[in-house]
């Protein structure tokens, strides 16, 4: 569509420009907050024409003041259709922010139409701040003094700085639709949107997302903490006649059951400013009786609490930015398989960690570890939350009770994950002390290959065969077997592990864990026995039926023979 300058002049002379109104809503509730006023041209030949076809011409030829005057005046006159709590947002061009008469023009338009300035939001694009910043600041200050709210439009597409945000005293930041459109599929766009929302919250500004079209976009914005939105999901820009219908339409709310900022717990989390959130989280961290930390995808310490620093014997700041491998190379070898599983989205809890004494006079330490993946708003794992509980003292008390009360048979107790380390030849180098407590072998006899002595003789050969195959091929270990308990009897266990290879492809270590599967195996056996019993009963019933049939057949034959004999006698 080719629009020329005479066409624009004629449109202004014939009053062909009209305001259209696009709803702005609260994301959390769907409640209508106001409308953005957008210019449209009822072109006699081309019909309804968008501003991208004529605004630039008006700006370049000194017509933008008259154009906005016509649009503003008509929009303010239509405001009688709005409830008193709804706002109108209008756009001013970068050129107008250099015009010291702009505030006076807006004041005249609002006074003549009796539209309260307190309900007016003036949107300023980032490019307006790069011509004459001082003049733009003066105009913005006058608008604020009049009672208008200020919004920075299309944030992220220009070059505004934090200094601009601070000096212009904005009330809102509007996120450009180009970022919103791609945020559900483009991680970079999503991070930009999250950063803008966080910046707005830090500065006490409301954030408005433009171009929201889908439910997925709206849900993601809610979780990011964005307050307001506009776009086709909530309504297209329409003429003033459509305002009553928009006002009475039912609100478009988030999915049922979606917990959103401001509901239930949000006032102490998502709605808090980032600095407050950090203080809250740090207070929770430091008050916890367990060691806590957050690792990024490269296993670097992003945050941790004082308890974990005390457990590690290293000051808190020395952890930050360093990897677990750098800080604790030996412990990393044990924990790496679980960390990598957590990066794949698996939540792992109850992992037992045995740390042998490293210094004279120290005691072996027993820890319970949990690894929880942390997800971002697009369900991608961004790091791992690790918790460590020192149970060394509890274990010592348990062992003392066990030694002093042999008459009382303790119940078998193994956490779901009991880690082990094995060399390339199959010798156990390290195993949790809890494994030692489950068998009568003792600590020394669990090292190397002696742990096999605890196995049921029926399981020994298949276990050795499976281990030998894994050691030769490097394929993962996954084997089930029964072990003898301290008080006698057998329990089913499952051992799984993976190999660590050197640069030359040779196996250097195996890392794995043992879990108790006895209850599951007993259930399977009971089910098999029930099925077998049912099959036996069915077989017996069938055999009885066959026998009964054969008996009846024999009787029938006998009766038949008797009848034949009787007829011959007769």
d(CA 59, CA 445): 88
Encoded tokens for 351: 């992992």
| Overall residue count recorded for the chain in this entry | 570
Is the pLDDT confidence value at 330 over 60?
A: yes
d(CA 398, CA 482): 24
Give Cα separations from 456 to 399, 434, 447, 480 (angstroms): 25, 19, 18, 11
Nearest to 88 by CA among 23, 140, 43: 23
Task: Yes or no: say if 386 and 369 are a contact pair by the CB < 8 Å rule.
Answer: yes
Catalytic site residue 210? yes
Task: Yes or no: say if 60 and 114 are a contact pair by the CB < 8 Å rule.
Answer: no
d(CA 6, CA 46): 15
Q: What are phi and psi of 421, to 5 degrees?
A: -130, 135
Share of the chain above pLDDT 70, in %: 74
Which residues neighbour 29 within 8 Å (Cβ) at sequence distance 6 or greater?
251, 253
Among the listed residues 210, 227, 352, 377, the single catalytic one is: 210
Task: Yes or no: say if 306 and 298 are a contact pair by the CB < 8 Å rule.
Answer: no
d(CA 224, CA 197): 7
By mean pLDDT, which of 17-31, 169-183, 377-391 is the weakest? 377-391
The whole-number pLDDT of residue 273 equals: 46
Q: How confident is the model at residue 375 (pLDDT cuts 50, 70, 90)?
A: confident
Rg (CA), the chain: 38
CA 469, 475, 480, 484 torsion-angle sign = positive
Q: Which domains does the chain have, with CATH numbers?
A: 5-252 (3.20.20.450), 274-395 (3.30.450.20), 410-521 (3.30.450.20)
- For 514, other C-beta atoms within 10 Å of its C-beta total 26
| pTM over 0.85, yes/no | no
The whole-number pLDDT of residue 443 equals: 44
Which residues neighbour 46 within 8 Å (Cβ) at sequence distance 6 or greater?
1
Give Cα separations from 444 to 403, 436, 450, 490 (angstroms): 18, 9, 8, 21
d(CA 223, CA 378): 10
Q: How confident is the model at residue 492 (pLDDT cuts 50, 70, 90)?
A: confident
The whole-number pLDDT of residue 514 equals: 79
Task: Yes or no: say if 222 and 27 are a contact pair by the CB < 8 Å rule.
Answer: yes
The whole-number pLDDT of residue 565 equals: 47
Angle between helices 64-78 and 102-113 (to 10 degrees): 30
Encoded tokens for 44: 């006699």
Q: Cα torsion for 276, 282, 283, 288, to the nearest 10°?
A: 150
Q: What is the pLDDT of residues 247-274, one digit of tens each?
A: 999 998 765 544 444 433 333 333 344 4
Half-sphere exposure at residue 488, Cβ-oriented, CA atoms within 13 angstroms: 1
d(CA 553, CA 464): 57
Q: How confident is the model at residue 201 (pLDDT cuts 50, 70, 90)?
A: confident
Q: How confident is the model at residue 198 (pLDDT cuts 50, 70, 90)?
A: confident
CA 170, 234, 25, 191 torsion-angle sign = negative
Nearest to 58 by CA among 100, 10, 104: 10
Name the average pLDDT for the chain: 78
Q: How confident is the model at residue 141 (pLDDT cuts 50, 70, 90)?
A: very high
Q: How confident is the model at residue 278 (pLDDT cuts 50, 70, 90)?
A: low
pLDDT average, residue stretch 282-292: 67
pLDDT average, residue stretch 300-324: 86
Q: How confident is the model at residue 188 (pLDDT cuts 50, 70, 90)?
A: confident
Q: What is the pLDDT of residues 147-167, one digit of tens each?
A: 999 999 878 665 555 666 777
pLDDT average, residue stretch 514-535: 75
The whole-number pLDDT of residue 566 equals: 43
Give Cα separations from 129 to 94, 203, 210 (angstroms): 8, 19, 21
Q: What is the pLDDT of residues 43-100, one digit of tens each?
A: 878 788 888 888 889 988 999 999 999 999 999 999 999 999 999 999 998 899 999 9
Class of residue 139 by CB neighbours under 10 A (exposed 0-12, middle 13-18, buried 19+):
buried
Class of residue 404 by CB neighbours under 10 A (exposed 0-12, middle 13-18, buried 19+):
exposed
CA diameter of the chain: 141
The whole-number pLDDT of residue 210 equals: 96
Half-sphere exposure at residue 543, Cβ-oriented, CA atoms within 13 angstroms: 6
The DSSP bridge pattern shows strands 490-501 and 507-516 to be: antiparallel
Which residues neighbour 455 within 8 Å (Cβ) at sequence distance 6 or greater?
463, 481, 482, 483, 484
CA 525, 496, 505, 425 torsion-angle sign = negative
Of 457 and 127, the structure prediction assigns the larger pLDDT to 457
Alpha helices in 249-387 (DSSP H): 274-287, 306-312, 316-319, 324-327, 329-343
The whole-number pLDDT of residue 202 equals: 76
Q: What is the pLDDT of residues 347-359, one digit of tens each?
A: 888 888 777 664 4
Instruction: Classify 15 as helix, strand or coil.
Output: coil
């Amino acid at each position: 569509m080719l629009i020329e300058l005479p066409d624009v002049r004629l449109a202004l002379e014939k009053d062909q420009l009209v305001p259209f109104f696009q709803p702005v809503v609260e994301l959390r509730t769907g409640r209508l907050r106001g409308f953005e006023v957008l210019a449209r041209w009822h072109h006699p030949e081309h019909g309804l024409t968008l501003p991208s076809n004529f605004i630039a011409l008006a700006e370049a030829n000194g017509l933008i003041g008259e154009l906005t005057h016509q649009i503003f005046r008509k929009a303010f006159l239509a405001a009688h259709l709005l409830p008193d709590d709804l706002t109108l947002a209008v756009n001013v061009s970068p050129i107008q922010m250099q015009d010291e008469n702009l505030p006076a023009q807006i004041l005249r338009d609002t006074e003549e139409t009796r539209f309260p300035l307190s309900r007016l939001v003036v949107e300023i694009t980032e490019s307006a701040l790069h011509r004459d910043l001082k003049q733009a600041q003066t105009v913005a200050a006058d608008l604020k003094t009049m009672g208008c709210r200020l919004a920075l439009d299309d944030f992220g597409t220009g070059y505004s700085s934090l200094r601009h945000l601070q000096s212009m005293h904005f009330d809102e930041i509007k996120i450009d639709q180009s970022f919103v459109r791609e945020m559900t599929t483009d991680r970079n766009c999503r991070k930009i949107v999250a950063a803008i929302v966080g910046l707005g919250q830090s500065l006490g500004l409301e954030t408005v997302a433009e171009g929201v079209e889908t439910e997925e976009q709206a849900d993601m914005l809610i979780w990011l903490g964005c307050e307001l939105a506009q776009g086709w999901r909530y309504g297209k820009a329409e003429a003033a006649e459509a305002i009553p219908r928009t006002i009475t339409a039912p609100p478009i709310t988030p999915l049922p059951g979606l917990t959103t900022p401001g509901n239930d717990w949000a006032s102490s989390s998502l709605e808090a400013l980032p600095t407050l959130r950090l203080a809250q989280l740090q207070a929770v961290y430091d008050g916890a009786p367990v060691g806590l930390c957050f690792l990024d995808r490269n296993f670097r310490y992003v945050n941790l609490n004082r308890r974990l620093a005390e457990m590690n014997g290293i000051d808190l700041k020395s952890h930050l930015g360093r990897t677990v491998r750098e800080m604790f190379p030996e412990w990393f070898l044990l924990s790496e398989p679980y960390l990598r599983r957590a990066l794949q989205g698996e939540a792992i809890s109850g992992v037992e960690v045995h740390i042998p004494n490293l210094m004279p006079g120290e005691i072996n330490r027993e820890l319970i570890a949990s690894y929880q993946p942390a997800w971002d708003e697009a369900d991608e794992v961004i790091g791992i939350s690790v918790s460590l509980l020192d149970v060394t003292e509890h274990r010592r008390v348990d062992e003392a009770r066990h030694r002093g009360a042999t008459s009382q048979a303790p119940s078998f107790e193994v956490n779901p994950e009991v880690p082990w380390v094995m060399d390339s030849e199959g010798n156990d180098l390290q195993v949790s002390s809890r494994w030692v407590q489950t068998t009568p072998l003792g600590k020394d006899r669990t090292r190397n290959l002696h742990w096999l002595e605890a196995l049921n003789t029926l399981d020994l050969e298949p276990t050795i065969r499976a281990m030998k195959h894994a050691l030769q091929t490097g394929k993962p270990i996954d084997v089930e077997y029964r072990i003898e308990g301290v008080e006698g009897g057998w329990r089913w266990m499952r051992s799984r592990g993976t190999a660590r290879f050197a640069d030359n492809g040779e196996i250097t270590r195996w890392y794995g864990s043992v879990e108790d599967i006895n209850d599951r195996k007993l259930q399977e056996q009971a089910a098999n026995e029930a099925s077998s019993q049912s099959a036996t009963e069915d077989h017996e019933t069938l055999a009885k039926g066959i026998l009964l049939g054969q008996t009846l057949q024999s009787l029938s034959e006998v009766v038949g023979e008797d009848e034949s004999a009787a007829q011959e006698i007769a």
